[in-house]
Each structure stands twice: as structure tokens, then as C-alpha cells.
Amino acid sequence: MATRLEPDERPRYSIAEAARYVRISPTTLRSWVVGRPYQTAGGSRYFQPLINRPLTEDPRLSFPNLIEAHVLRSLRTRHEVPMADLRAALDYAEAKCNIKRLLLHPDLRTAAGSVFITHLGELINLGRSGQIVLKDLLDAYLKRIERDFDGAPSRLFPVITAQGVDGPKIVAVDPQIAFGRPIIAGKGVRTLTIVERLDNGEERSVVAADYGLEEREIHAAILYENAA
């Protein structure tokens, strides 16, 4: 019998595509999704994934998986947190707060987030100041996630590298629009479409008029699509 999934949980992004959208290395994302072997004094072991795909037989990720990768990225931006420590901190937060998939949960910004950050800070030998920085950075990333009335993630505003985590929320990923590909929020046009038309020689004014775009929206699309 086929597994029934909620619409937003359907597989839709390859690892390479998801990594590009949230601006992380495909190799890093693969290790979070697939796991990786590591060596110990007793021999080789295998570390289990931090992100679980909706269907084990399908290599693609869901929109909630994209959110989890976005949140994990915040922990990798300031500190190169080892996977084993991330796993231990997530397990600790689940046991302490009884919350599964903490990276998707709205409580990550409140009590559970404090427990998670404190325990993670202890695991990687962060002082109090380091924990404050890590919590502030995580909070900044969480503010780029919109949630529905039930608290579930409904839209992501990816970080545009040139503008940083506090940049304007112009480019969005919404599973209900454009098959979950990056768009200009409120306009629905794909950022890739804008950049492809410009690269084909069309004038910015023509592209802007066709989609009702402001100059800052075209600029954001260009920055997003051309980021390394």
C-alpha cells in the first residue's frame, strides 16, 4: 500500500536543488539527509541522518525538510557544529520537552530552543557569550519562516547571501506556489524566470512591467539566482 502523505510532505526537491535554495553545500546537506560513516577506536560506525525524508525509497526532500535544512544552516553559519553534537542536542531537547522534529516546531523559539541551545553549547564547549550569539543567530533564521494558524511552516524566505540573514523578505519558497520553487513574494513569478529573461537580453523595464515588479524585487532575484 502506498504511503499517504500530507500535501506539503510530498517529495519535491533533489538534494542539489534544496542545497541551492538554502545556500549550503550539497555534500553537507547529503550528510544531514543520508547520514555518514565515521571512525572510532572500536572501528567504523554510521551516524544516522538529522533530516528524515518523507519516503525512504524516494531521494527527494519535502518542503518541511527544506525548513529543517534552513534551521540547521544557522547552526553551521556561526559554528562548525559536528553532526554527533547536533544529534545529541536534538535528542536531548526531545527527551526534555517531549517535542519531535524540534527543527520544525514553533517552540524552538521559546523554552525548547533555550534547552536545545544550552545543551548544544555544553556539548561544543561554548561559553555563555557563545550561547547567546548562537541563540540570536538561530532566532534571526527562524524569523524568516512564516507559519500557518496551526504553527506549521508555510513559507520560507531564504537568506540572500549579499544581504545577510537580516535582509528584506522578498524571495520566498512557498509549497503552494510555482511547485515550491523560489518566487518573488506577493507576485508569484519565479526568480529563475526573471533572471533568464534578463540574461536573454530583455530590458529590466520590460520584465518589470510584465510581472508588476519593483526595482528592488528584480535586484533581489538577480542576487539570489547568481549567489555562489
Kindly report, as residue ranges, where domains of CATH 1.10.10.10 are found in the chain: 157-228
pTM score > 0.85 for this model?
A: yes
Q: What is the CA radius of gyration of the chain?
A: 19
- The stretch 38-42 carries a mean pLDDT of 74
Q: What is the pLDDT of residue 1?
A: 47
- pLDDT band, very low/low/confident/very high, at 106 (cuts 50, 70, 90): confident
Closest CA to 84 of 58, 111, 49, 114: 49
Query: Residue 151: what residue type?
Result: G
- CATH no. of 157-228: 1.10.10.10
The H-or-E segment that residue 47 falls in is strand 43-47
Give the Cα-Cα-Cα angle 32, 34, 36 (nearest 5 degrees). 80
By percentage, how much of the chain surpasses pLDDT 70?
96
Query: Does pLDDT of 31 surpass 70?
Result: yes
Query: Does pLDDT of 114 surpass 80?
Result: yes
Indicate the average pLDDT of the chain. 89
What's the pLDDT tens digit per position in 66-81? 999 999 998 887 667 7
Residue 54 corresponds to which cell in the numbers above? 518523507
Closest CA to 49 of 62, 65, 64, 63: 65
- pLDDT band, very low/low/confident/very high, at 2 (cuts 50, 70, 90): low
What's the pLDDT tens digit per position in 150-172? 889 999 999 998 888 899 999 99
Q: What is the pLDDT of residue 228?
A: 54
Give the integer Cα–Cα distance in Å for 57 and 39. Answer: 27
Query: Does pLDDT of 56 surpass 50?
Result: yes
